[in-house]
Each structure stands twice: as C-alpha cells, then as structure tokens.
Amino acid sequence: MQSTNSGIHHIRIGDITVTALHDGMLEASTDLVVGVAPNDCEALLRESFRAVPPRITISSFLLTIGNEPVLVDTGCGGAMGPDYGHARRRLEALGVEPSAVRTILITHAHIDHVSGLLDADGAAYFPNAEVVLHEAEPAFWLDEAIAAGARDAARNAFAVAQRSLAPYRDRMRTVKDGGTALPGITANHLPGHTPGHSGWLVTSGPDSLLIWGDVVHLPGIQFARPEAGVSFDVDVGQGRASRARALDMAATDRMLVAGMHLDFPTFGHVVRAGGGYGFVPHVWAPAAA
C-alpha cells in the first residue's frame, strides 16, 4: 500500500505533458517574510490550516514534448543535503536519463533551482543539455564586479550560481522578455526576486500554463498579502511589483499557473479574495482512455 505521495504529478497542456517533480520541503520561518508582521503571518498560516513555523515546498517540472524531455529548473541536486534533491529520483522513476535532456529552462539561479545541474564532482549532470534563461540572470550572477561588491549574506548565492552554471557556459542561451525558448514556450520576465527571474509560458493548442518560478514562496501568506516579500529577494520592491502583476494577470485571464514553491503538485488558478488573492488547486481527473 502506498503510504505517501509519489512526488510525481502529470497534467496535459494541449499536446504537452507537464509533470511536477517534488524535490523536497524546507522548514522555514516567518522571519523570512518582509513587509508583514510575524504575528500576522502566523495567523494567516493557521487560518489556512498550515504548519507554524511554515514549510516551503520545492518542485521542478518536466515537459514532455513529443518524445523530448525538457526541464524547467533542476532542484537542489546534492547541494542542500539528503532531504532535498529528490527530483532526480523522480526522473529516474520516469525513465528519463540525464543524457536525454537537451533543453533546461531556468527561472533563476538560486540554489534550489540550479544546483541540480551539477553531479557530485561539479561537472554537468546533464551532458547534452542547453541551458536557457533570461539575459539579466547571467549578467547579474556571473559579473565578478557585482559579486565582489555583494553583502556577506549574498556571497554564497553568487558562488552557487557561478559554480552551477560554469559547466554550461558554452551551451547557454539567453532570451529577452517574451523571447522564445522552444516553439510554444516563451519567457515572462518577473524581476525582483532576482534580476532575471522569469516564468515560462507553455502554450499548446487552446491550452496554456504559466510556470511562474518564485512569484510566491509561502502560499498561506503571499496570496492573501501579496505585499509580503522574502528576505532573499534581491529587490523586495520590484519583487512586490512583479508579484502584483503576475497575480492580477492570472486572476484576470483565468490562467492556469504552477510554481516551484506552491503546495505540491502546484497547479491551480488565482482568484481575487478580499483585498488580496486566493489559490484554487487544479482539479484532478483521470487521463482519457
């Protein structure tokens, strides 16, 4: 008898299968929240039947386009210890070999999104993959002058990004806002969490899905209070503006969204609720026979 969730969940977007891959769950703190008082955060968590202190889900995504596997982010790999990096095990369970992955779309270069690019020796875990990301992301993280001037708390983030992207420097492609990564997949620049932080809009036939990266880290707090940033936002104010834009767009357009830190399996819709927003999980249905 299966006692836990498998950490693998599929939906269809037109002719594309999108698979959420659970990578781990981080024990967090309301001290990470910027702009909303800890007591208010705890009240919101309890009202939404969530744990206090909060937990942050980590996921990445597999797009199956024809017979081609495409990844959106790679999870933690081995960088955060044995409780994380499970997306690799999910890919193995699905029969996806690292050598078969030829395209990896990166939302941004934080540790839980790009560390899975590396094997245990620091070489490319995906030997044949091209890495695609917004042009502002490597321009920031790989700039030695910016890295040298970073505050102490951010220096490790620069080291992680530089180390993770290094094996792919000769097969890295950058795009602008609205740029095409693959047919039907375009970048949606949502800066603030990092300068190049971007969602990936997946469109096939009449269906679409915005995989919005880290627009929301703490669903129990940031939907109701979208002004809430997190301490590891590079630019908290710009992150608030991008979150407001993304939430308004998703609610107005009734857009299906997914995010790396939404409650697994992450797919759902945004609705307006009071002075903020709510999240309605995507309703599961069995695949057509």
Sort strands 229-230 and 256-258 into parallel, antiparallel or unpaired. Answer: unpaired
Question: What is the rounded average pLDDT of the residues 208-218?
Answer: 98
pLDDT in tens, 9-45: 999 999 999 999 999 999 999 999 999 999 999 999 9
Is residue 75 pLDDT above 80, yes or no?
yes
∠ CA 10-164-128 to the nearest 5 degrees? Answer: 65
Residue type at 190? Answer: L
Residue 43: its pLDDT value, please? 98
User: In the numeric block, which tokens belong to residue 103?
Assistant: 């395209």
What is the predicted pLDDT for the residue at 1? 42
CA distance 126 to 109: 16
> How many Cα neighbours within 13 Å face the side chain of 250?
31
All domains in the chain, ordered by first residue: 8-281 (3.60.15.10)
* Average pLDDT for the chain: 96
Angle at 118 between CA 142 and CA 147, to 5 degrees: 20
pLDDT band at 152 (very low <50, low <70, confident <90, very high): confident
Q: Select from 21, 233, 7, 265 the least CA-distant residue to 110.
A: 233
Q: Does the pLDDT of residue 63 top 50, yes or no?
A: yes
pLDDT digits (tens, 9 = 90+) for 88-145: 999 999 999 999 999 999 999 999 999 999 999 999 999 999 999 999 999 999 999 9
